[in-house]
Amino acid sequence: MTTVLPRSGAETTTTGLLELEGLTKSYGSRRVLDDVSFRVEPGRLTGFVGGNGAGKTTTMRIVLGVLGADGGAVRLGGHDVAAADRRHFGYMPEERGLYPKMRVLEQVAYLARLHGFGKSEATARGEALLTELGLGERLHDTIESLSLGNQQRAQIAAALVHDPEVLILDEPFSGLDPLAVDVVAGVLQARAAQGAAILFSSHQLDVVERLCDDLVIIAGGTIRAAGSREQLRAQHSAPRYELVSDADAGWIRSEPGITVVDFEGGTAVFDAASPEDAQRVLRAALGHGIVHAFTPQHPSLAQIFKEVIQ
Q: How far is the CB of 165 from other proteins (least distance, A)?
A: 7
Measured distance CA(125)–CA(160) in Å, rounded: 10
Closer Cβ to other proteins, 124 or 183, answer by number: 124
| Interaction between residue 308 and other proteins (CB under 8 A) | no
Binder to other proteins among 9, 97, 136, 250 (CB under 8 A)?
Answer: 97
Stretch that binds other proteins, among 2-10, 178-186, 212-220, 249-257 (CB under 8 A): 2-10
| Amino acid in position 216 | V
| Interaction between residue 162 and other proteins (CB under 8 A) | yes
Measured distance CA(233)–CA(199) in Å, rounded: 19
| Amino acid in position 131 | T
Nearest-CA neighbor of 188 among 174, 205, 173? 173
Nearest-CA neighbor of 154 among 189, 181, 130? 130
Binding mask 54-93 for other proteins (x = CB under 8 A): -------x--xxxx---------------xx-xxxx-x-x
Using DSSP's 3-state secondary structure scheme, residue 190 falls into helix
Measured distance CA(266)–CA(5) in Å, rounded: 55
Q: How far is the CB of 61 from other proteins (least distance, A)?
A: 7
Q: How far is the CB of 4 from other proteins (least distance, A)?
A: 8
| Interaction between residue 284 and other proteins (CB under 8 A) | no
Binder to other proteins among 10, 29, 30, 95 (CB under 8 A)?
Answer: 95
DSSP H or E stretch at residue 5 = none
Q: How far is the CB of 95 from other proteins (least distance, A)?
A: 4
Please, are residues 2 and 157 in contact by the beta-carbon 8 Å criterion? no
DSSP 173: T
Binding mask 118-157 for other proteins (x = CB under 8 A): x--xx-xx--x-----------------------------
Contacts of 150 (CB under 8 A, 6+ apart): 135, 138
| Interaction between residue 10 and other proteins (CB under 8 A) | no
Other CB atoms closer than 10 Å to residue 12's CB: what's the count? 18
Q: Site residues (CB under 8 A) for other proteins?
A: 3, 5, 7, 28, 61, 64-67, 83-84, 86-89, 91, 93, 95-102, 110-118, 121-122, 124-125, 128, 158-159, 162-165
